[in-house]
Every structure is written in C-alpha cells, then in structure tokens.
Amino acid sequence: MKKLLAAILLCFATGAAAQLSIEITGAGSQRIPIAIAPFAGEGALAQSLTAIVRADLERSGLFRGLEVPVLNPAPTEASNVNYAEWRARLADALVLGSVAARPDGRFEVRFKLFDTVKAADLSGVAYTLSRDQMRATAHRIADFIYEKLTGEKGVFSTRIAYVVKRGPKYELQIADADGAGEQALLVSFEPIISPAWSPDGKKLAYVSFQQKKPIVYIQDIELGKQNVVANFKGSNSAPAWAPDGSRLAVSLSREGGSQIFLVNPDGSNLRRLSQSAGIDTEPVFSPDGNHLYFTSDRGGSPQIYRMPAGGGEAQRVTFEGGYNVSPRLSPDGKLLAYIARNGGKFQVAVLDLATRQMQILTDSDKDESPSFAPNGRMILLATVNSGRGVLAAVSADGRIKQRLTLSAGDVREPAWGPFIK
Amino acid sequence: MHAIWIALVSAGLAACSSAPSQEQSPAGVEERKPGDASGAQTQPVKPGAIARVDLTGKPQAKSPLTDPGNILSRRSIFYDYDNYEVKDHYRDLVEAHARYLRDNPRSKMLIQGNTDERGSREYNVSLGQRRSEGVKRMLLLLGAKEEQVESVSLGEEKPRAEGQNEQAWSQNRRSDILYQGEY
C-alpha cells in the first residue's frame, strides 16, 4: 500500500507531464531500508529531488524508503553523521545532500551515501544542473545509490519506447524509465509495431504500416528523420540491431515465406541468412553478436531456434509447449525470455540457457513483447488488463512485479532502451 | 462491354461510383487521400475556352468486381487458427479471380493476409503473409502473372471484428483481395 501511495504521490509530484504511472504489485522479500533526508535547500527547485530519488529506488522493488522526520537544521552531506541514531530509525543506508543556487541561475546538488550498519561513508557526487535537468539529475543520483548498494548498474536514467493506440491514432512514444516526459516520435493512422533501440540509444528501428504494408524504418530520435531500411515486395518486419549497430536482422517475404535477412542501417548490403520452407521471424542477436535467436515454425509449431550470425545450421532451443515466440536475450546472454503459450495463456517465460531450467514469470494471460532492462534485472512486457493494453514489468527471478498504466489509450510494443553513455 | 471493364480496371476503378463492398478491407479505404488513384484525367484548356463537365450522361456500367451478384465481389477467404490452408469451398472464388486477372492482364491485385489477435504480433505478420502468399500461389498456378499480384500481411493489426472471442477471431483470420484503386 505504501508503494502504491508512493507511486501516486510521484504522479502528483510530477504533475501533468507524467502520463505513465508505475505501480508495484510485488516486491523483493529483502528490501534495503534506506533513509533519504530531504536535501537542504531543495525547496528552491520546482519539485522535490529526493522524492524522485526515493520513488526510483522503491520502484526497483529492492529498496524500502523510510519516513524521515523534519530535522532542524536540515542535515547536509557535510554534516557529522550520528550512525547510531539512523540505525535506531532502522535505516541500513542513509543519503544526505544539499541544493545550492548558483549565481548563473543553475543549481549545484551535492550528496553522500552512508552505510549506517558499517558506519561508513560510501562517497558521493556533486552535479551542476539547470532547472530542466532536475529529473535527470534525480535519476542519476538514484543510479549512483543503486549501484553502490546492489553492485549492479541502475536503469533509472534509461528510456523506454512503446506504442499507444488512442482512437484511430497510433503513436510511437519515448518516455523516461519512470514513465515521465512522454514524447511522440511518430503519429500515424496506420499501425506501428516492433520498435527496436539502436545500441547507442540515438535511433529507433520499427515497422510502420503507413504505406498499407509492413515496412522497416529507422528514425533518428533527435532529428526526427525517417529512413527506409527494408521496403521490398511483400512484408518487411521484425528489425533487430546487431550489438555494434552496424547492421540489422529483419524478416522479409521478398523471396517467399518469411525469412531472415541482414541489412545495413541505410538499406544496403542485403543478404539472406535463413533458409527454410516455413516462417522464420523475430530475429534477435545474442549480446556477443555471434548468434541469432529467432522464431520458426519449421518443426510444425512456432518454436525458438538459434543460428550463427553469419548463417548456418539452426538448432532448436525451446521444446516445452506448442507455441514459443518472441525471443529476447538478457544483457549477459545467460537468460532467454520469450512468450510461451501455457494452457491457452500467453505468458512470459525465462529459460536459463546453461541449466535448461524454464520458469513462467507472469500470471497474466495475454503477454507480448518482452524486453530486458539494460542491467538485466527487470523484463518489460505488454499485457492486457480489463480489456486494455497495459505495460508491466517483472524481475527476471519473477519476484518483483510492476504495472505501468497510461491515463488513456491502449499501450503495447514496449522496448527498453540502452544505458546512456 | 468487355472493353468497358478493361477501361475501368486500368483507370484504377476510381470511376466506379458504387460504395465499397462490404467485403473490402477497411484498411484500403479509410486512408485514401483525395486525389489518390482518382483516374480522372485533366485536359488542357485553351484560354477563354470553357471546359464542360457533363454528369447527365448514362450511368457507368457496374464493375463485375463490385457487383454483389458476381462472384468477383467476394473478396475474403477465412482460415482456421494458426493455419494458412485455403479451404476447398473457396476454389470457385479463387478461380474466378484468376480468370479475371488472366482476362485483364493490366489489372493488379493486392492480397492482404490477416490473423486474429492471439500470440506474437510479429509471428502474426508472418502468418498473415503465409495466408496471402498461399492465395497468390493459387492465382499464379491458375494463370495470373507474378507482376499482377502482390501479397502482403497486416498481421493482427487491422481486425475486422473487435472482440476477444472465437466469433470475432474467425472473422479476423482472413485474406482480403483488393484490386488496384481499392488500396
């Protein structure tokens, strides 16, 4: 309940800009209790920096934000920390900081993270920011804290892409990982599917039906320029970037059937990779770039296969069940997430490629389009709730669950963007 | 009469003033911009001259493609779940369209394959493609020319029937035949 409140408060705190709100529906069993004291002087900012940091950390399902009483004078990163006092408040970690206005109209934020159990200063950072970099700075602070305390990189500064259907319109949107700052990249009366981030996070490949058939485009996010990658006779679909961004795998029907081809981002150097009499689609590169995983019905039912990225013989990867589609590799290449039909329900499954252990992660029944966070912790997915398309996220171990809701419209086709360098 | 059909088809069917048939995919109609495939020819006019438009002439003959009494107005083929086999009872329909393409070598056709909403959107694009390609292959075997027919897929993206039940789904597992000017 507290989580839910935090999510709602976050919505209010961020005002009308936040269209997508995130609600935690299941959290990790061992959450780190953390006290984030409101930064001294943060009242000068339009919204509370520490509220955003806390909401970020809580949304991860790995932290429990503690209520911090109003302290006078407000402690700062330079204060002497009374560890016993914070331990008495049951905090394992403490964040103290301050915000100062600079003569040039910008702000300086300084903060420090403390381990109250070990009575240790875990260091901190100072950022200079303009007014409109407030949210981005809060996410960077949350990323810093997350990495220090969990040992893995935070994804609070990353972005997600998804498609919203509002009435007759399809909108390809990009938002911050917390759902704030939604912006439309492409608006069309025809469907848009399968957005795929370039590895540098600067472009999106996607399939648009704007010419009455599926055509693969790449759009530069900043410049808004749309380029055709594959527009051949028949259908052109399912773009996936190679990890180095030098080429894409796509599924084309130009030679009959849906087969996997490689193509450069500018549409040049097309070459066919798969050779089957059936359907081969939904290619995705392994993180090392050496293999392609894809969906094929060559064995009689749609299953996931793997083949060398240079072409060659394919091996079947999934065996359980009669419908396994939409493969996605975890960033470390160890887990395969996909959609499995399980007793008539379409659910997110994860296969440990080393142990062959398979686990169904969700209890919904119309899941689609799984997408790993760049740190591999969460999997974003599309599902249907009360007849409406919504996004949800589940941790790769199935413990943490989130639901992302948009004020209006059907949401589908999520894709989690890469780390921002 | 035959000449009229050819003229109509090659003009992109735009001269046809009848409402789009029920069997026509909404995808082909809702987005048509004014001027698209209008088939209207403009004539240069001498200065001072007056160009005359006469709408009082005889109504244009109905196209067999949209005449509800003609089998050619039937444009949809329905499928079983996760299946792309064209059932036997569509043979007459496919043969009639093949004959039309043979008799009208300048006519062009787009076949749109569709699926129900279940499962992966991308797999459904491929499944819809399989459906439309199956129809295309039959038409080619029956004498239509490769350059006359393009088969594409709309996957699950353009459902004819909204709803999450077999009644809606069975309407959406479908190939639609559209002639040039209808898409």
* pLDDT digits 0-9 by tens, A12-39: 333 334 467 777 777 667 899 999 999 9
Domain of residue A69: give its range: 32-150
Considering the domain architecture, whether residues A367 and A248 belong to the same structural domain is answered as: yes
Considering the domain architecture, whether residues A174 and A270 belong to the same structural domain is answered as: yes
Residue B38 in any domain: the answer is no
Considering the domain architecture, whether residues A180 and A37 belong to the same structural domain is answered as: no
* The two three-digit tokens of residue A319, written as one number: 């065996």
Question: Which residues in chain A have Cβ-Cβ distances shorter than 8 Å to B164?
Answer: 387
- The CATH number that applies at residue A179 is 2.120.10.30
Residue B13 in any domain: the answer is no
Question: Which residues in chain B have Cβ-Cβ distances shorter than 8 Å to A233?
Answer: 150
Question: Which residues in chain A have Cβ-Cβ distances shorter than 8 Å to B133?
Answer: 234, 253, 256-257
Question: Which residues in chain B have Cβ-Cβ distances shorter than 8 Å to A256?
Answer: 133
- The pLDDT > 90 percentage for chain A reads 84
**Residue A270 buriedness (CB in 10 A; 0-12 / 13-18 / 19+):** middle
Distance CA A179, CA A13 (A): 13
Reported as a pLDDT band with limits 50, 70 and 90, residue B5 is: very low
Distance CA A409, CA A386 (A): 13
Q: Are A79 and A96 a contacting pair, CB within 8 Å?
A: yes
Beta strands in B91-183 (DSSP E): 109-114, 149-155, 174-179
Q: What are phi and psi of A189, to 5 degrees?
A: -85, -5
> How far is the CA of A133 from the CAs of A19, A129, A138, A140, A387, in angstroms?
19, 6, 9, 11, 37
User: Could you tell me which of A191, A195, A190 has the C-alpha nearest to residue A161?
Assistant: A195
Distance CA A354, CA B178 (A): 49
| Candidate from A193, A235, A280 with C-beta closest to B121 | A193
**Is A188 part of the contact surface with chain B (CB cutoff 8 Å)?**
no
Considering the domain architecture, whether residues A174 and A59 belong to the same structural domain is answered as: no
- The CATH number that applies at residue A90 is 3.40.50.10070
Number of domain units in chain B: 1
Residue A291 in any domain: the answer is yes
Considering the domain architecture, whether residues A385 and A266 belong to the same structural domain is answered as: yes
Residue of B nearest to A412 (CA): B121
**Is B23 part of the contact surface with chain A (CB cutoff 8 Å)?**
no
User: Could you tell me which of A174, A247, A144 has the C-alpha nearest to residue A416?
Assistant: A174
Q: Are A411 and A368 a contacting pair, CB within 8 Å?
A: no
**Greater pLDDT, A14 or B151:** B151
Region A162-178: mean pLDDT is 94
Residue B25 in any domain: the answer is no
- The pLDDT > 70 percentage for chain A reads 95
- What is residue A38's DSSP assignment? P
Q: What's the count of helices (H) and strands (E) in chain B, helices before strands?
A: 5, 4
> How far is the CA of A50 from the CAs of A5, A39, A85, A111, A141, in angstroms?
16, 7, 20, 10, 9
Helix pair angle (A2-14, A49-59), 10° resolution: 140
Residue B48 in any domain: the answer is no
**Is B25 part of the contact surface with chain A (CB cutoff 8 Å)?**
no
The contacts of residue A9 (CB under 8 Å, 6+ apart) are A51, A55
Considering the domain architecture, whether residues A219 and A281 belong to the same structural domain is answered as: yes
| Candidate from A212, A279, A326 with C-beta closest to B27 | A212
Considering the domain architecture, whether residues A133 and A166 belong to the same structural domain is answered as: no
**Does residue B43 carry a pLDDT above 90?**
no
Question: What letter represents residue B75's amino acid?
Answer: R
User: Could you tell me which of B107, B74, B95 has the C-alpha nearest to residue B175?
Assistant: B74
Considering the domain architecture, whether residues A106 and A196 belong to the same structural domain is answered as: no
Reported as a pLDDT band with limits 50, 70 and 90, residue A421 is: confident
Question: Which residues in chain B have Cβ-Cβ distances shorter than 8 Å to A237?
Answer: 122, 125-126, 153
Residue A302 in any domain: the answer is yes
- What is residue B90's DSSP assignment? G
User: Residue B119 and residue A346: Cβ atoms within 8 Å?
Assistant: yes
Considering the domain architecture, whether residues A234 and A263 belong to the same structural domain is answered as: yes
User: Residue A251 and residue B27: Cβ atoms within 8 Å?
Assistant: no
Considering the domain architecture, whether residues A258 and A354 belong to the same structural domain is answered as: yes
User: Residue A256 and residue B133: Cβ atoms within 8 Å?
Assistant: yes
Question: Which residues in chain B have Cβ-Cβ distances shorter than 8 Å to A238?
Answer: 122, 125
Measured in angstroms, the CA of B127 and the nearest CA of chain A are apart by 8
**Is B152 part of the contact surface with chain A (CB cutoff 8 Å)?**
yes
Number of domain units in chain A: 2
Q: Which of A123, A150, A177 is at the close of a domain?
A: A150
The SS3 of residue A386 is: coil
Element (H, E) at A195: strand A192-197
User: Residue B153 and residue A253: Cβ atoms within 8 Å?
Assistant: yes
Considering the domain architecture, whether residues A306 and A213 belong to the same structural domain is answered as: yes
| Candidate from A233, A295, A346 with C-beta closest to B150 | A233
Q: Are A229 and A205 a contacting pair, CB within 8 Å?
A: yes
Question: Which residues in chain B have Cβ-Cβ distances shorter than 8 Å to A284?
Answer: none
Residue A1 in any domain: the answer is no
Q: Are A159 and A175 a contacting pair, CB within 8 Å?
A: yes
Measured in angstroms, the CA of B164 and the nearest CA of chain A are apart by 9
User: Residue A235 and residue B129: Cβ atoms within 8 Å?
Assistant: yes
Q: How many other C-beta atoms can be found within 10 angstroms of the C-beta atom of residue A5?
A: 9
**Is B162 part of the contact surface with chain A (CB cutoff 8 Å)?**
no
Element (H, E) at B123: helix B121-141
- Residue in this structure with the two tokens 């759902």, named with its chain if needed: A179
Residue B15 in any domain: the answer is no
Residue B160 in any domain: the answer is yes
Residue A23 in any domain: the answer is no
User: Residue B125 and residue A234: Cβ atoms within 8 Å?
Assistant: no
Beta strands in B4-159 (DSSP E): 76-78, 109-114, 149-155
Domain of residue B162: give its range: 63-183
Helix pair angle (A134-150, A49-59), 10° resolution: 40
Question: Which residues in chain A have Cβ-Cβ distances shorter than 8 Å to B125?
Answer: 193, 207, 214, 235, 237-238, 251, 258, 281
Residue B53 in any domain: the answer is no
Reported as a pLDDT band with limits 50, 70 and 90, residue B38 is: very low
Q: What are phi and psi of A414, to 5 degrees?
A: -75, 150
Considering the domain architecture, whether residues A125 and A240 belong to the same structural domain is answered as: no
| pLDDT score recorded for residue B21 | 37
**Is A251 part of the contact surface with chain B (CB cutoff 8 Å)?**
yes
Distance CA B142, CA B39 (A): 29
CA angle A58, A147, A155 (to 5 degrees): 60
Q: What are phi and psi of A185, to 5 degrees?
A: -95, -35
Residue A4 in any domain: the answer is no
Q: How many CB pairs under 8 A join A and B?
A: 111
What is the four-CA torsion angle of B94, B97, B101, B107, rounded to 10 degrees? -130
Q: How many other C-beta atoms can be found within 10 angstroms of the C-beta atom of residue A257?
A: 22
Q: Are A161 and A371 a contacting pair, CB within 8 Å?
A: no
**Is A321 part of the contact surface with chain B (CB cutoff 8 Å)?**
no
**For residue range B88-127, what is the model confidence (pLDDT) as tens digits?**
999 999 999 999 999 999 999 999 999 999 999 999 999 9
| pLDDT score recorded for residue B76 | 97
| Candidate from B28, B123, B130 with C-beta closest to A325 | B123
Question: What letter represents residue B141's amino acid?
Answer: L
Q: Which of A119, A150, A181 is at the close of a domain?
A: A150
| Candidate from B31, B82, B122 with C-beta closest to A190 | B31
| pLDDT score recorded for residue B28 | 34
Question: Which residues in chain A have Cβ-Cβ distances shorter than 8 Å to B112?
Answer: 213
**For residue range A325-346, what is the model confidence (pLDDT) as tens digits?**
999 999 999 999 999 999 999 9
**Does residue A144 carry a pLDDT above 80?**
yes
**For residue range A396-418, what is the model confidence (pLDDT) as tens digits?**
999 999 988 776 789 999 999 99
**Residue A67 buriedness (CB in 10 A; 0-12 / 13-18 / 19+):** exposed
CA atoms within 13 A on the CB side of A44: 16
Residue A320 in any domain: the answer is yes
- Interface predicted TM-score (ipTM) of this complex, two decimals: 0.91
Q: How many other C-beta atoms can be found within 10 angstroms of the C-beta atom of residue B179?
A: 25
| pLDDT score recorded for residue B57 | 63
Question: Which residues in chain B have Cβ-Cβ distances shorter than 8 Å to A193?
Answer: 121-122, 125, 155, 157
- The CATH number that applies at residue B106 is 3.30.1330.60
Residue A115 in any domain: the answer is yes
Region B146-165: mean pLDDT is 95
Region B141-159: mean pLDDT is 97
Residue B22 in any domain: the answer is no
Residue A27 in any domain: the answer is no
Q: What is the mean pLDDT of chain A?
A: 92
The SS3 of residue A312 is: coil
Q: Are A189 and B33 a contacting pair, CB within 8 Å?
A: no
| Candidate from A234, A281, A341 with C-beta closest to B122 | A281
Q: First and final CA of chain A: distance in angstroms?
A: 35
